[in-house]
Amino acid sequence: MITPGRIVRLAERDRAEVHFLLAGEMRGALAGDTVLTAMLASGHALRNSEFGSESRAGFCLMGACQDCWVWQEEGPCLRACTTLIAEGMRLRTTPPENWP
């Protein structure tokens, strides 16, 4: 299970901080992080597993498996493992109600 404070950044702490909204909560990341890195480093799992109560943290981490899709509050969904986090992103881990 992913909980705040359990993931520790070991290197590259001197990059600029960016802020983003995830599931309605303000989070922080470092410029150059992928969305997935930003989510995990801020203590948030990608989503819950479809097959049990465990948290998911991505699978291949290189954009090949389609496991890490997240939704923007407005705009298209994106791959968390290959998309760089940007200041002010507004993300959600569940699809919007009007998702096809």
Residues 3-59 have pLDDT tens digits of: 544 566 767 778 899 999 998 999 999 999 999 999 988 887 777 666 777 777 777
pLDDT tens for residues 30-40? 999 999 999 98
Q: What is the DSSP letter of 60?
A: S
What pLDDT shows up at residue 99? 65
Q: What CA–CA distance (Å, rounded) separates 1 from 10?
A: 20
Give the amino acid at 70.
Answer: V
Please state which of the four CATH numbers 3.40.50.10490, 3.30.70.260, 1.20.1260.10, 3.10.20.440 is assigned to the domain occupying 17-92. Answer: 3.10.20.440
Write down the pLDDT at residue 94. Answer: 80
What's the pTM value of the predicted model, to 2 decimals? 0.80
**Residue that wins the pLDDT comparison between 83 and 6:** 83
Q: Is the pLDDT at 87 greater than 60, yes or no?
A: yes
Helix (H) or strand (E) holding 18: strand 17-22
Report the DSSP beta bridge partners of residue 27: 20
pLDDT of residue 100: 62
